[in-house]
């Protein structure tokens, strides 16, 4: 294998629970939002099970744990409040998962382009990646608000690859949820699930092409799937 055998390939990452352990900051902002309604705070262990479909859905799911429900108008207000709380210290306790930087270095060193496909808002995604000083590593950062059909729809994945200058026929998705798997599979692309993420189902039962327990495993899989 040569240093450039991933030239023309695109590696697409989910963000929360895949590249970055954002649970501590998400739970802080979520609980500040729930406080506005006098609802019980949610532990980090629960937040890891309710992320993945954006702030609005996370708030709905957290409220449902206390049998609370909101009107669409109030839910919109609470979502705005969550975004305000979250942006105030977006990477205060968030960290890259072990081996993420080394894996990105290896993939770009082999010629691949990197991109982020997330159901987080694009502005929040950029702010988080900038705070972690890794935003420059990605040819495209595409949040749910930047596409007509977000994950699990394959259009989100396809659009992300296109914005990164790639072709979905030579792209691979790295994620932690069934939405990631469905988006990639719907586009005919291979997908790797990280077992250390915010998995909404058993990693080995999601239908991914591979499951990894550490980012050190990713380069070999990418080369095996995409190398010319």
pLDDT digit string, tens, across residues 104-141? 999 999 999 999 999 999 999 999 999 999 999 999 99
Q: Based on the fold, state whether residues 185 and 140 are members of the same structural domain.
A: yes
Give long-range contacts, CB 8 A cutoff, 24+ apart: 215-218. Answer: 215/97, 215/98, 215/99, 215/100, 215/102, 215/103, 216/99, 216/102, 216/103, 218/103, 218/106, 218/107, 218/174, 218/192
Assign 36 to helix, strand or coil: coil
Query: Environment class of residue 46 by beta-carbon count within 10 Å: exposed (0-12), middle (13-18) or buried (19+)?
Result: middle
Q: Is the pLDDT of residue 2 over 60?
A: no
In a domain, 170, yes or no: yes
Residues 69 and 122 grouped into a single domain: no
Residue 42 lies in a domain: yes
| Residues 109, 215 within the same domain | yes
Residues 118 and 144 in one domain: yes
- Through-space distance between the first and last CA atoms of the chain, rounded to whole angstroms: 9
- Shared domain for 153 and 132, answered yes or no, is yes
Q: Percent of the chain, pLDDT > 70?
A: 97
Encoding tokens for residue 70? 């909101």
Q: At which of 87, 104, 137 does a domain end?
A: 87
Q: Based on the domain organization, do 32 and 17 belong to the same domain? A: no
Which structure tokens are listed for 171?
Answer: 């792209």
Gyration radius from the chain CA atoms? 17
What is the pLDDT at residue 52? 64
Of 37, 69, 87, the one marking the end of a domain is: 87
Q: What is the pLDDT of residue 53?
A: 75
Answer whether 2's CB lies under 8 Å from 218's CB.
no
Contacts (Cβ under 8 Å, ≥6 apart) of 225:
172, 190, 209
pLDDT, one tens digit per residue, over 154-199 is 999 999 999 999 999 999 999 999 999 999 999 999 999 999 999 8
The predicted structure's pLDDT at residue 4:
85
> Is 1's pLDDT higher than 70?
no
Q: Report yes or no on 72 lying in a domain.
A: yes
Q: What are the helix (H) ranges across 65-175?
A: 72-87, 100-109, 122-131, 154-163
pLDDT, residue 47, reads 72
Q: Are residues 18 and 35 located together in one domain of the fold?
A: no
39 and 16 in one domain? no
Q: Does residue 29 fall inside a structural domain?
A: yes
* Same domain as 27, residue 67: yes
For residues 149-154, average pLDDT: 96
CATH number for the domain spanning 144: value is 3.40.50.1000
Residues 32, 18 within the same domain: no
Annotated catalytic, 35? no
Among the options 5, 14, 16, 200, which is catalytic?
Answer: 14
In a domain, 1, yes or no: no
Domain that holds residue 40: 23-87
pTM for this structure?
Answer: 0.92
Please report, for residues 148, 196, 203, 224, the alpha-carbon distance to residue 62 in angstroms, rounded to integers and kept in the order given: 26, 22, 23, 40
Mean pLDDT of the 97-106 span:
98
Lowest-confidence range among 58-67, 98-107, 132-141?
58-67
Do 150 and 175 form a contact (C-beta atoms < 8 A)? no
Of the candidates 157, 101, 160, the one whose C-alpha atom is nearest the C-alpha of residue 134 is: 101
57 phi and psi, to 5 degrees?
A: -65, -40
Given this model, what pLDDT does residue 227 score? 85
Q: Are residues 14 and 116 in the same domain?
A: yes
Mean pLDDT of the chain: 94
Nearest-angstrom CA–CA distance, 219 and 217: 6
pLDDT recorded at residue 3: 65
CATH of the domain at 39: 1.10.150.240
Asked if 111 and 64 sit in the same domain, the reply is no
Quote the percentage of the chain above a pLDDT of 90. Answer: 87
In a domain, 4, yes or no: no
């Amino acid at each position: 294998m040569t240093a450039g055998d991933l030239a023309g390939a695109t590696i697409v990452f989910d963000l929360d629970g895949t590249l970055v352990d954002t649970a501590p900051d998400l739970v802080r902002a979520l609980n500040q939002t729930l406080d506005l309604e006098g609802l019980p705070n949610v532990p980090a262990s629960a937040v890891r099970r309710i992320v993945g479909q954006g702030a609005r859905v996370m708030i709905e799911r957290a409220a449902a744990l206390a049998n609370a429900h909101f009107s669409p108008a109030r839910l919109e207000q609470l979502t705005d409040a969550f975004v305000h709380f979250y942006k105030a210290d977006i990477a205060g306790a968030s960290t890259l998962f072990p081996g993420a930087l080394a894996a990105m270095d290896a993939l770009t060193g082999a010629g691949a382009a990197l991109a982020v496909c997330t159901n987080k808002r694009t502005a929040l995604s950029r702010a988080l990646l900038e705070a972690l000083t890794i935003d420059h590593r990605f040819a495209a950062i595409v949040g749910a608000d930047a596409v007509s059909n977000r994950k699990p729809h394959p259009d989100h994945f396809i659009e992300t690859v296109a914005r990164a200058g790639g072709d979905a026929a030579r792209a691979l998705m790295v994620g932690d949820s069934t939405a990631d798997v469905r988006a990639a599979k719907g586009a005919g692309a291979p997908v790797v699930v990280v077992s250390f993420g915010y998995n909404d189902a058993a990693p080995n039962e999601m239908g991914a092409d591979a499951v990894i327990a550490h980012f050190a495993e990713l380069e070999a899989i990418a080369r095996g799937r995409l190398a010319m």
